[in-house]
Structure 1
Amino acid sequence: MLPRTARRTRARRASRMLLAMAAMAALISVDVPDAPVGPPLGVTAPALSDASADRVGALFSGGLDGGHFCTAAVVHSDDRDVIATAAHCVGDPDTTLFAPGYRDGEAPYGVWKVTAVHVAPGWTDGADPDADIAFATVAPVDEGQSGAVEDLVGGFPVAAEQPAGATATVIGYPRTDETPLRCANTTTLFSDTQRRIECPDLSGGTSGSPWLVDGALAGVLGGYEGGGAVPEVSYSAVMGDQAVELYREAADAG
């Protein structure tokens, strides 16, 4: 039989483990959607309407009738009003609109206007591809709509400094499609500051698409060659301290 002090120590350790597991389960249930059952790695297919896809939306200029030009995603923040996209997608924020869960001409969660944009000086001063990520705050276009966008669809946590070989899921809207596409594959480092993924059919319009690792935002489609010169290969600037600081600025500004 263990001495009484040893039994007490073991009991305290077990209690702490149970509390940690419960806290982790609670975090996952709130912030990270269940991993969807999708096509094999490296295969692009229409994204089913689920918790992850509903957090992703198309970006429009002026209104939904003009066609969408980029993609963005809701990320978690205290004020529940922050989206992430590529910096090159928010050059004209005054007319940029976000429609989460957009499908076939419908915006089931409303239309949201960009109220502020946060980009790094490297992008503002010289369009540095390593700084091609932006965080923005949004508000409903319909003044009678209450609540925040994250209240409706949830928000992805942000997870920087992912390993070189992380498997990422990309969800985005090509300009010619009225529903989002989804593809997952193992990523590689193209350079110390750029991540690469091979997924077919991620053509123009998918810039700003979230790269999700274990359900958390680990990058956005953009960076080198504006995200890629051919639809089969895409890039994302590696999310590091600078991107995390931008995210914090946007979250605090909300």
Structure 2
Amino acid sequence: MIHGILPRQAGRPRARRASRILLALSAMAALLGIDVPDPASVPPLGVTVGARPGTAADRVGALFAGGLDGGHFCTAAVVRSEGHDVIATAAHCLDRPDNTFFAPGYRDGEAPYGVWRLTDVFVAPGWRDGEDPDADIAFATLAPLDDARIEDVVGGFPVAGQQPGTVPVTVVGYPSTRETPLSCTNAAELFSSTQRRIDCPDLSGGTSGSPWLVAGELAGVLGGYEGGGTVPEVSYSAVMGERARALYREASAPGAFALAAPASG
């Protein structure tokens, strides 16, 4: 676990700093629709809670095999794009794009914003050629639904530039054993020059691809080292470096060419 995020130390400067951190986390919680008793309080750092419906939480959804009856196996999030049609997830979640569907805001068997079909998938050559964990960030475009585009329906997260090594991060994702999303905020730290880690419980199978949000911007997705982690208490994300941002720009451009390998099986 990460300790000393808000150390108890006498002195007004430290107290003022702690107050500012709490206010910032409270604002983040309100933005992401986390279940908290009131807008002035947030769950303790590193505690996983249910994420209630809200403007930002509804931009996150579950990936399904073949449709809602196929079960959800990963998480994805809508990001801003020129075509208003792009989601971000982990590259290892997109092995079968022709049979993958996205349900933003999914809860208890219901898809309030519809079920969206993937069209093109964008993965880096490092993932396509050798499943490099540092390239385990991917983007996909979605077909319109009832003449609407996904970003026009639920909005989208901006994609952040490269972030400092240690930052407060909120992860929102769908464990495959649950029908509602979970959320956790904690300080993420560099595990290596190309990977970050975060200590949050209960982020089990199905949360791969979950957005890592820094001040409302997507700064990574759950994946990378160990496929995102082999225990639910510790998760990883490849650093959102220039390679990933270039991939995002390619996916975002209208008429972009997909880099995905053909669907297997």
8 Å CA contact 2:32–2:57 kept in 1: the answer is no
- Structure 1 residues 76-134: Cα deviation after superposition (integer angstroms, max 9, x where no partner): 01211000000000011001000000000000000101100111000000000000000
* CA distance in structure 2 between the aligned counterparts of 1:93 and 1:66, rounded to whole angstroms: 14
2:115 pairs, out of 111, 116, 121, with 111
Q: What is the CA–CA distance in structure 1 between the aligned matches of 2:74 and 2:117, rounded to whole Å?
A: 14
Q: Is the 8 A contact 2:32 2:51 kept in 1?
A: no
1-structure distance, mates of 2:252, 2:181: 26
Name the SS of the counterpart of 1:191 in structure 2.
Answer: coil
Matches for 1:17-96 after TM superposition, within 5 Å = 34=31, 36=33, 37=39, 38-96=42-100
Deviation track 1:7-36 (CA, whole Å, cap 9, x = no partner) reads xxxxxxxxxxxxxxxxxxxxxxxxxx8365
Alpha-carbon deviation of 1:160? Answer: 2.6
Distance 1:221 1:79 in 2: 24
Superposition pairs for residues 1-254 of structure 1, below 5 Å? 34=31, 36=33, 37=39, 38-140=42-144, 145-253=146-254
Which consecutive aligned stretches of 4+ in structure 1 deviate over 6 angstroms post-superposition? none
Structural RMSD (CA): 1.2
Q: Which residue does the alignment assign to 2:27?
A: none
Aligned mates of 2:108, 2:32 — CA distance in 1: 24
Q: Note if contact 2:32-2:54 (Cα within 8 Å) is conserved in structure 1.
A: no
CA distance in structure 1 between the aligned counterparts of 2:160 and 2:218, rounded to whole angstroms = 6
Match of 2:143, SS? strand
Partner Cα distance (1:87, 1:59) in 2: 13
Q: Tell which structure's C-alpha radius of gyration is larger.
A: 1
Q: TM-score, normalised by structure 1?
A: 0.84
- Higher helix fraction (1 or 2): 1
Give the total of aligned pairs. 219
Supply the AA of the counterpart residue of 1:206.
T
Q: Distance in 2 between matches of 1:157 and 1:124?
A: 25
Distance 2:53 2:89 in 1: 20
Partner of 2:11: none
TM-score, normalised to structure 2's length? 0.81
